[in-house]
Amino acid sequence: MKKVKKAIFPVAGLGTRFLPATKAIPKELLPVVDQPVINYAIEEAREAGIEKFIFIVSRGKSAIQDYFDHAPELEQVLELRDKRDALQVLRCTEIYAGDAIFVRQPRPLGLGHAIWCARNLIQDEPFAVLLPDDIVQGERACMAQLIEAYDSLGGSVIAVQQVPKERTSRYGILDPGERKNPLIEVKGLIEKPAPGRAPSDLAVIGRYILDPTVFDYLDLEIEGARGEIQITDAINNSIGKAAVHGFLFEGTRYDCGDKLGFLKANIVFGLKHSELGPGLKAFLKTIDLEG
């Protein structure tokens, strides 16, 4: 089996839930404590052995490209002021020349379409997809867990978690087959089913290893739910051509595309921060939650 070395990061969304902040700043650059949301996904991908980073962007997202670029003027100032710690942090945000590729999605036609925009860069290789809105905290990177499962199974491996049945309409939901924890055979996926129609409580989150057979369906540009080209439809179409498994990952997922999830992530990561944690913990104890 071919190794997973390329990852797609769909970052073309408008971030309307975070307006007016996202009028000028891409939502992926909003900070969780001291680094932007997208940096957590990049670090996770690097830990999993990803070598090529493909960003699907839209008009107005040039700041993401600037973030991962070399900043010689800023580095020069930090060197002159002997701010070595800040300089090291800055250099960790850079991606080596040629390893970051930016692809324009001209119209917002859904996640499946965003992934399809990278088809010529992926060709016949397996690839990862990381949605930066999801930050997964755990002892081991979520993507590393998926790649380990892929190395044993091949095909497509999708990160899943159990959700309350009343919330199934917010996710792609597995129609599960044989289950050998943490692996679950996928007989099908249903996009955002009503609670009474959901075949399980196993929801797909923003981490995928995908077999390139998904492009067979994406090439057809068929609209699915909400008039968008859905990756769930493409995965359904690939079943039978390649194995598809859900994977119950170890870790806690924070939905930073949602305001409450974003606040939760800032609190949790703030409490774990070596410098800020003690002060934040002391402050939280002083808050009158009923006031």
Domains and CATH numbers, the chain: 6-274 (3.90.550.10)
Please tell me the distance from the alpha carbon of residue 262 to that of residue 264, in angstroms, as a whole number: 5
The pLDDT of residue 290: 62
**pTM, 2 dp:** 0.93
* DSSP label of 178: E
Write out residues in the chain with pLDDT < 50, as ranges: none
Which runs of consecutive H residues, i.e. helices, occur in 30-83? Answer: 37-47, 62-67, 72-80
* DSSP label of 228: S
The pLDDT of residue 253: 96
The pLDDT of residue 98: 84
The pLDDT of residue 91: 82
The pLDDT of residue 28: 95
The pLDDT of residue 224: 78
Locate the DSSP E strands across the chain: 6-10, 31-32, 35-36, 52-57, 100-104, 127-130, 134-137, 156-162, 172-180, 183-191, 202-210, 244-248, 252-255
Phi and psi (nearest 5°) for 117? -60, -20
pLDDT for 91-143, tens place per residue?
888 888 889 999 999 988 999 999 999 999 999 999 999 999 999 999 999 99
The pLDDT of residue 191: 87
Strand bridging mode 6-10 / 52-57: parallel
Contact assessment for residue 26 and residue 37, using Cβ atoms and an 8 Å cutoff: no
User: Which two three-digit tokens encode residue 110?
Assistant: 């859904």
